[in-house]
Structure 1
Amino acid sequence: MSKRLSSGRLRMVSVLAAGLLVLLSGCDRRYLIFNPSGPVAEKELHLIILSAVLCAVVVIPVLALLIFIVYRYRDKPGNKAPYTPEWSDSKILEIVWWGVPIIIIGILGVYTAKTTYSLVKPPVEDVKPITIQVTSLDWKWLFQYPDQKIATVNYAEIPAGVPVQFHLTSDQMMNSFWVPELGGQEYTMPGMAMRLWLQADQPGTYYGSGANFTGKGFAHMKFKVVAKPQAEFNQWAKQVKKTAPALTEAKYQQLAQKGLSEKQTYSSYPERLFLDTIDRNGGKYMKPEMKHGGHDMSMMDHDNE
């Protein structure tokens, strides 16, 4: 019996030690959402901190009261806590436990709405933004640059300090585009074009991924956003234009098939590829009278509205 107990304890210690090592090994990893590298991510971090503080205003007193009540009114000989079986209500307590949550929700709602509406505009107004069209596929990401007329797969390069408006759609399942250090996630949906403003303040490489489960290849839907100085970005775009192959309609159809893909770069792509993708998928959900031949390009533009 003692040997079995000893072996059981040994296994338990081993499991605890292994768990501790896993936790310690992750201590050096950055918590990406708490490491904002752009104005959008900074605003969202402030909103997260405010939400945590307001939650703490409720949670901490409630836990403290729970500990106090359990200790103060415990069943113990000689406990002199008052016994009031006829007690029914307290106006003061009613005001507290209704009033405090209402105030907290009001503060959080106003601040959340204000922050959310501020994010539909370019993070900075004095710098000309660029547009990148993003299409989620199973299981890969296609990035198209309308101004540079180039495209990439599973990575994107952007100029540092420049607002970037991502136009997002999907040619397969619904997904979610997320670059934690630059800002929050936005959904990609078939037949729709969503917008997301992001900006990297400094040159660097930022982790991105799909944040919505889309099947067995979901874990591989990762990409990197590389921010470079404007001059280096321009040089990269020119180099791609000179050396990379073209993305034809036939190649796109192959790319759109289910499966994984390595990084790819293209010097051109069909002009209406992004809009045709929206139209093709939108036909499944739109009423016949709502269908039309195309989208007004001005609706997809990034003019300073």
Structure 2
Amino acid sequence: MDAQGPIGAADAKILLNAVGIMLVIVVPTIIAILAFGWWFRASNTRARYRPEFVYSGGIEVVVWGIPTLVIMFLGGVIWIGSHDLDPFKPISSPDKPTEVQVVSLDWKWLFIYPDQGVASVNELAVPAGIPVHFSLTSASVMNMFFVPQLGSMIATMNGMVTQLHLAADKPGEFYGQSAQFSGDGFSDMNFILRAVPQDGFAQWIATARQSGSALDRTSYLALCQQSSNVRPFTYRTVDASLFNAVVNQQLPPCPGPNIEGPGATVRPRLER
């Protein structure tokens, strides 16, 4: 509920609206239970015992009409929200969105900045107040990209591209994670999204260009080896065709788990 972006705020609004609509049934029901229990207590001589009671048109209207209206209102809220918050729908802004290509690996996240020509692993820097357009795919099993405070989650799938638009209202650090089980390194498959001022983002890009190694197809094949607890690091340059090569499966598939006996081998710790 601590939304820090327009999409997250809209998601929270839908949740609160849905809860409010459902309380229209929940609150009167609780009150009615307490009231009936009090009224029909054994010591109340005014309560009438009517074993012959069978039907009441008024009660039928209430018990069927109110839930029907609640479902209609909930359906309307969800219908409108689903279209307004379509992850493929760009965020309205006078600023050009920052482009980020995302590849989910076992068990880490690769972020490619095609316009800036750099990349990072398990660290995502974006300019605050400017929309970010994510293009996402997976080099392994299906996964789920999620930054809870900024809004909607989206699936990453092998051989295809999904899209997501998010924005951070102000500078800050936000926890990002994999929201779908993807193997024994799943619990460590998280990252930090850093929303920084525009000059801070330019400085981060400049620093990335001066450190780290180049990300080409050879270094990518080394990166995609299974590993967990990966510390964040950057690549100073990126093969411009790498993301499309991953999507179109033009690279050899990354190796799966190596089973030598009753249990799996220990996953290596990748550090840069």
Q: Mark yes or no: TM-score above 0.5.
A: yes
Aligned length: 248
User: When the two structures are superposed, what TM-score results if normalisation uses the length of structure 2?
Assistant: 0.84
Gapped runs of 5+ residues in structure 2?
254-272
Q: 1:94 to 1:221 in 2, by over 3 A?
A: same
Partner Cα separation in structure 2 for residue 257 and residue 244 of structure 1:
18
Taking the aligned partners of 1:215 and 1:90, their CA distance within structure 2 comes to: 57
Q: Secondary structure at the residue paired with 2:25?
A: helix
Paired residue type of 2:6: P
| TM-score normalised by structure 1 residue count | 0.75
Q: Does 1:271 align with 2:240?
A: yes
CA shift digits 1:233-282 (9 cap, x unpaired): 1222122123221112222222222221211201222322222222229x
Amino acid at match of 1:160: A
Residue number among 254, 257, 270 corresponding to 2:225 in the alignment? 257
Structure 1: tracts of 5 or more residues without a match: 1-33, 285-305
What stretches of structure 1 move > 6 A for 4+ residues in a row? none
Q: Which residue of 2 aligns with 1:64?
A: 31
Mapped to 2, the partners of 1:156 and 1:131 lie a distance apart of 12
Q: Note the 1:94-243 alignment, pairs <5 A.
A: 94-120=60-86, 121-243=89-211
Q: Are the structure 2 counterparts of residues 112 and 240 from structure 1 closer, same or farther at C-alpha, using a change threshold of 3 Å?
A: same
Residue 132 of structure 1, CA deviation: 0.7
Please state whether the residue corresponding to 2:126 is helix, strand or coil. Answer: strand
Q: Distance in 2 between matches of 1:238 and 1:168?
A: 24
Quote the Cα distance in structure 1 between the aligned partners of 2:215 and 2:70: 52
**Residue of structure 2 equivalent to 1:288:** none
Q: Aligned residue for 2:50?
A: 84
Residues 78, 98 of structure 1: alpha-carbon distance in 2 compared, 3 angstrom cutoff: closer
CA contact (8 A) 1:40 1:198 kept: yes
> 1:115 deviation in Å?
2.4
Q: 1:282-301: per-residue Cα shift (whole Å, max 9, x none)?
A: xx9xxxxxxxxxxxxxxxxx
Tell me the amino acid that sits aligned with residue 132 of structure 2.
Answer: V
Once the 2 structures are TM-superposed, how far is the Cα of residue 204 of structure 1 from its aligned partner?
A: 1.0
CA shift at 1:78, angstroms? 6.4
Kindly provide the amino acid, as one letter, of the partner of residue 194 in structure 1: T
Q: Which deviations, in whole Å up to 9, do the C-alpha atoms of 1:54-86 show, x marking residues without a partner? A: 121111111222223334335x36655322222
Identity in percent: 37
Q: Distance in 1 between matches of 2:18 and 2:63?
A: 18
Secondary structure at the residue paired with 1:246? strand
Tell me the C-alpha RMSD between the 2 structures. Answer: 2.0
Within 2, Cα distance between the matches of 1:128 and 1:276?
26
- From the two aligned structures, give the one with the greater helix fraction: 1
Q: Which deviations, in whole Å up to 9, do the C-alpha atoms of 1:100-152 show, x marking residues without a partner?
A: 22222222222222222223433233111111111111211111111111111
CA contact under 8 A between 2:211 and 2:234: conserved in structure 1? no
CA distance in 2, matches of 1:73, 1:187: 54
